[in-house]
Amino acid sequence: MIENNTDAHILVSMTYASRANSDVSANDFNEILQQAQRNNAANGITGMLIFNKDYFLQTIEGPRAQINRLLYSLIADQRHHDLQLIETRELKHRLWAKWSMNYASPTEENAAIYLKYSTTVSFNPYLLNAESANDLMRELSEV
């Protein structure tokens, strides 16, 4: 029997919300995005990142070991805090296969979509269940 010690065939998806540190600007967001796209392309990770005022909402998907490694980096990253997992699951197929990291920030065009998923005056991803978080990201990616 051939032994195979790599778990690269096990794909997982992780979605979390976090709060941006108060000094994170649109410029910082662009830097985070570029860093994510560069690293993810090398690590077989794909996903979607939302930045809306104080909050991040992100899905990362890829080989289980890589996703776990990235989780440690994310928790240690000083540009945000209060990382809260919304969903982790195994995947048969990637949902974001085309993007090393797709993204959305608030624009006039997608304002109605954020509003649809807001139960409070302003958008708050900590209040989303997994299904709504996925639906929101999918709708934003279609704008």
SS3 letters for the chain? CCCCCCCCCCEEEEEEEEEECCCCCHHHHHHHHHHHHHHHHHHCCEEEEEEECCEEEEEEEEEHHHHHHHHHHHHHCCCEEEEEEEEEEEECCCCCCCCCCEEECCCCCCHHHHHHCCCCCCCCHHHCCHHHHHHHHHHHHCC
- Out of 73, 97, 108, 119, name the contact with ligand FMN by CB under 6 A: 73
- Binding region for ligand FMN (CB under 6 A) out of 70-78, 89-97, 105-113, 128-136: 70-78
101 makes contact with ligand FMN (CB under 6 A): yes
The C-alpha atoms of residue 74 and residue 55 are separated, in whole angstroms, by 14
- Binding region for ligand FMN (CB under 6 A) out of 6-14, 33-41, 86-94, 117-125: 33-41
Q: Using the structure block, give the residue that is written with the tokens 């639906």.
A: 135
Nearer to ligand FMN, 1 or 11 (CB): 11
40 makes contact with ligand FMN (CB under 6 A): yes
The C-alpha atoms of residue 140 and residue 117 are separated, in whole angstroms, by 11
Restricting to residues 41-60, name those near ligand FMN by CB under 6 A: 47, 49, 56, 58, 60
Nearer to ligand FMN, 70 or 86 (CB): 70
CB of 97 to ligand FMN, least distance (A): 15
Count of residues near ligand FMN by CB under 6 A: 17
The residues that touch ligand FMN, with contacts defined as CB under 6 A, are 32, 35-36, 39-40, 47, 49, 56, 58, 60, 70, 73-74, 77, 79-80, 101
